[in-house]
Every structure is written in C-alpha cells, then in structure tokens.
Amino acid sequence: MTDRSFLAWPFFEDRHRALADALDEWAARTLPPLVDHHDVDGSCRRLVAALGEGGWLDHAAPDLDAGGPDGGNRFDVRALCLVRETLGRHAGLADFAFAMQGLGSGPITLFGTAEQRRRFLAPVRAGTALAAFALSEADAGSDAAALATRAARVPGGYRIDGEKTWISNGGIAGHYVVFARTGEGTKGVSAFVVPADTPGLTIAERIEVIAPHPLATLRFENCVVPEDALLGREGEGFRIAMATLDVFRPTVGAAALGFARRALDEAARRSLTRRMFGATLGDLQITQAQLAEMALDIDASALLVYRAAWAKDRPDLSGVTRITREAAMAKLHATEAAQSVIDKAVQLFGGLGVKSGTPVEELYREIRALRIYEGASEVQKVIIARQLLAGYQEGAS
Ligand SMILES: Cc1cc2nc3c(=O)[nH]c(=O)nc-3n(C[C@H](O)[C@H](O)[C@H](O)COP(=O)(O)OP(=O)(O)OC[C@H]3O[C@@H](n4cnc5c(N)ncnc54)[C@H](O)[C@@H]3O)c2cc1C
C-alpha cells in the first residue's frame, strides 16, 4: 500500500489532506481508460477535459476574481505539488496534462489583466482549452536569456518573428505564452499571449521523445498580435518567466516523487510475490537494502518538495519570499532520486522491468526528461551554490 503517512506532516492544512484523498480516489477511478500512449494528443485532450470537469484545474489556474479555491491565494503550491504527486503516481501523462495547464497559464495568473484572465484562464480552468509556455529556442535552452525571437512594435501591436522549440502541448494548445525580445539583455524580453490560430504562427515540427508527449517546434513569421497580447509591461518578460518557474519548479520535484512512489509500490509488491531460491525476492537481504534505499530517497524528496511548497505558501512562517534555493534543492533531489528509485525497481523486476508497457518500464522512460527541463540538474546546482556563497559573502562583509 502506498505510504501516505507524509500527509500528517505539519507542512499541510486539513484542506490539503482532503484534496490528496479525494484526488487519489478520483484518479484510480477515472484515469486508466483515458490514457492511450499511441494517441498522446487525444489522451491529453481527454485528460484535460476530465481534470476540468473534476474541478482539479482550479488549482492550476486559480480564479482570482472569485477569490480562488484556496482562500484567495494566487497559487497554493502545496496543493499543486499534491496534485502532481498524486497524478504522477497514477499516470505520468495525466500529471503532464495538469502541469501544462498550470505552467502555460501561470504567467497570465500572475501578471495578466482582469480581461486577459477572463479570456484565457476560464477555458484553461474548465479544461476546454490547452495551454503552453514557449520560452526555449534551439540556441537558448539552459541559457534562456539568449533567446532571439523578436517582437517588433508595429501600429496597434507587435510583429513576432522567430522559432521556439521543445514546446509542450505544441500543436494542440489553444494559446501560447511566448517570450520574445523587444530590446537587449534580460530587461529586453517581453511576454505575449498568442492564440494558436494567429496568422503567422505555424507548427514547424512535431518532436518525438522517449516518453511520448505532445511536443513541437513553433515558427513565427510576420505574426502580428495586438497591443493587449502583451503580459505585464514591455521588458518584464524575463521576470515573468522566472516568477512562473519559481512557482512550478517544486512541482516538477513533486511529479518525480509521484513516479518514485509508484516504482516503490510496484517493486515492493513484486518482492513479496516473486518466488526464487525457495523464498521470495523480498526475503533476500540485498533486496531489502534496495527497498530501504528507495524508501529513504522518497522521504528525503518529500521533505524537500513540501518544505519548498510550504515556504512559498507561508512566507509569514518561513520568512522567505523567494524560494529560489528551496525550489532548486527540491527539484534537483527529487528528480535525481526518482531516477535512482525507478532504476532499482526495474532491476528488481528482472526481464519484466524492461518489457514494453510494464509500469516500471514506462516510469523509466518518463522520469528522464524531468532532470533536464525547467532547469537541468547542473543548473539547479549552480543556483544552490550561488545562493550559498552569497550568504557567506554577506556574512563576511
Ligand atoms: C520533454 C520536454 C519538454 C519541454 N517542454 C518545454 C516547454 O513546454 N516550454 C519550454 O520553453 N521549454 C520546454 N522544454 C525545453 C527545456 O526547458 C530545455 O530542454 C532545457 O532548458 C535544456 O535546454 P537544452 O535542451 O537546450 O539543453 P542545453 O541548454 O544545451 O543543456 C545541455 C546540458 O548542459 C548541461 N548544462 C546546462 N547548464 C549548465 C551549467 N551551468 N553548468 C554545467 N552544465 C550545464 C546540462 O547537463 C544540460 O542538460 C522541454 C524539454 C523537454 C525535454
């Protein structure tokens, strides 16, 4: 049985515990027939519709104008993490569908006008439109500030030219939040909401990856958007991207945590039932050591993920307003540890662990990208070290 003892931790309030229980029950009942890995576009549309109907997208795109589902908070990061962990444990694609509704509309939630929120967030929340976040380019991935897509002022708006790649939901999204250059340096980046049917925006290529997801390269050629497509102020785009990632980075750790818990569930059950050498796999002490390491990794990840989420939600108690260090630690540890936990599960399954379609084989492919996107592990280490050294420098001066 999945370990849910972490829900008693003081990071959570009762509404979080109720959310985790209700979603777990809903996911077990609803998700299996919706996921078809041979039709990821259709699966994502179905998943987003079901998540909208279930009311779960209220957490990804909170209705600020109605006070929000979480007492008027912009985002309840603990709720986001619990949803991602739970969905990740049941079905990776369901987690992806939920996460992209949040990431692809987060800049609008955080920086949009009331009119932008009304127009774009309501369908995202209802699950009738898919959202996407378009920052990366072929020559600007980890070094996102090197982005070259341009947005030139034209009468009544902006003309966007350039290419974005690795864009999740590319090809099926209703809108793209696009980061483009209106000047030089990080202060010369602006954010725009671009509806998918805007003339001049085309899908240049669909990208296949080891764990199938909707992913594409977008091309902008003479793509003119009106003045009110601008999010926030001109030149604020990089800050908007970073503020959005600050909210969603710990949630990547939460998804990894969900994958890892599922791998441990599968491995523990297999260890109890697989007979060998006149006993079970789980009777072997080497297996027990593997399972112990997996459980330890999972608890450490959970502590880091929910510490970051709590710190972001409760600055009054945590004393921090930016969770740069906490989020980086959570993402780094949880994704790396999940890779190791899942690898151990594959090993415990023997040949079945690499058979296409078994849950641990799917998890093995699913986890890999999480160590790369929203800041690769190396980038998280740089962030942690920078913060650490800055603290010592302050202490020394
Ligand atoms: C499945 C998937 C979904 C994605 N979805 C989106 C999306 O929806 N929107 C979006 O905008 N982007 C998205 N991305 C892009 C993603 O954010 C980039 O892939 C990521 O930022 C890395 O950029 P890159 O691929 O260009 O690798 P590079 O920037 O070329 O980095 C390659 C490697 O260099 C190493 N490295 C990087 N920085 C350092 C450093 N400072 N020190 C030492 N080593 C370093 C790391 O090992 C890194 O993996 C997605 C990517 C994937 C794989």
Q: Report pLDDT digits (tens) over 342-393.
A: 999 999 999 999 999 999 999 999 999 999 999 999 999 999 999 999 989 9
Residue 359: phi, psi to the nearest 5?
Answer: -55, -40
Q: Is 374 a catalytic residue?
A: yes
Return the SS3 of 117. Answer: helix
The secondary element (H helix, E strand) that includes residue 363 is: helix 359-366
Please return the burial class of 195, using the count of CB atoms within 10 Å of its CB with bins 0-12, 13-18 and 19+.
Answer: middle
Query: 255 and 208 in contact (C-beta within 8 Å)?
Result: no
Q: Among the atoms of ligand 1, which is closest to the Cα of residue 382?
A: 41
Q: What is the 142 CA–ligand 1 centroid distance (Å)?
A: 5
pLDDT at 394: 84
CA-derived radius of gyration, the chain: 21
Q: What is the 358 CA–ligand 1 centroid distance (Å)?
A: 28
Res. 1: pLDDT tops 90 = no
Mutation test of ligand 1: which of 93, 142, 336 has the most ligand atoms closer than 8 Å to its C-beta?
A: 142
Query: 192 and 161 in contact (C-beta within 8 Å)?
Result: no
Question: The pTM is what?
Answer: 0.97
List the catalytic residue out of 326, 374, 378, 394. 374
Q: What's the CA gap between 178 and 170, in Å, rounded?
A: 12
Residue position matching structure tokens 């902006």: 158
In the chain, how many H helices and how many E strands?
A: 13, 10
Mutation test of ligand 1: which of 166, 176, 242 has the most ligand atoms closer than 8 Å to its C-beta?
A: 166
Residue nearest ligand 1's atom 43 by CA: 378
DSSP per residue over 213-273, as a string?
Answer: --EEEEEEEEEEEEGGGEESSTT-HHHHHHHHHHHHHHHHHHHHHHHHHHHHHHHHHHHHH
Residue 322: phi, psi to the nearest 5?
Answer: -100, 135
Q: What is the 234 CA–ligand 1 centroid distance (Å)?
A: 26
pLDDT, one tens digit per residue, over 185-229 is: 999 999 999 999 999 999 999 999 999 999 999 999 999 999 999
The secondary element (H helix, E strand) that includes residue 134 is: strand 131-134
Q: Which residues line ligand 1 (CB under 6 A)?
A: 133-136, 141-142, 166-168, 209, 213, 215, 369, 372-374, 376, 378-379, 382
Spatial CB neighbours of 343, under 8 Å, sequence gap ≥ 6: 364
Return the SS3 of 204. Answer: strand
Return the SS3 of 275. Answer: strand
Q: What is the 319 CA–ligand 1 centroid distance (Å)?
A: 31
Average pLDDT, the chain: 96
pLDDT, one tens digit per residue, over 68-120 is: 444 445 899 999 999 999 999 999 999 999 999 999 999 999 999 999 999 99
Q: What's the CA gap between 179 and 133, in Å, rounded?
A: 9
The secondary element (H helix, E strand) that includes residue 205 is: strand 201-206
Quick one: CA dihedral 349, 352, 358, 361, positive or negative? positive
Within 119-187, where are the H helices?
122-126
pLDDT, one tens digit per residue, over 17-43 is: 999 999 999 999 999 999 998 999 999
Q: How large a percentage of the chain has pLDDT more than 90?
A: 93
pLDDT at 233: 97
pLDDT at 397: 67
The mean per-residue pLDDT over the stretch 239-260 comes to 96
Spatial CB neighbours of 364, under 8 Å, sequence gap ≥ 6: 342, 343, 346, 353, 354
Query: 170 and 214 in contact (C-beta within 8 Å)?
Result: yes
The mean per-residue pLDDT over the stretch 135-148 comes to 97
Q: What's the CA gap between 234 and 308, in Å, rounded?
A: 30
From residue 62, how far is each of 101, 102, 108, 246 by CA, in Å?
A: 11, 9, 11, 17
Q: What is the 367 CA–ligand 1 centroid distance (Å)?
A: 15
The residue among 147, 154, 115 whose CA lies nearest residue 133 is 147
Q: What's the CA gap between 29 and 52, in Å, rounded?
A: 16
The mean per-residue pLDDT over the stretch 136-157 comes to 98
pLDDT, one tens digit per residue, over 39-64 is: 999 999 999 999 999 999 999 999 98
The mean per-residue pLDDT over the stretch 158-174 comes to 98
Q: What's the CA gap between 197 and 172, in Å, rounded?
A: 11
Q: Which residues of 376-397 are buried (b: 16+ CB within 10 A; e: fewer)?
A: bbebbeebbeeeeeeeeeeeee
Q: Among the atoms of ligand 1, which is closest to the Cα of residue 139?
A: 26
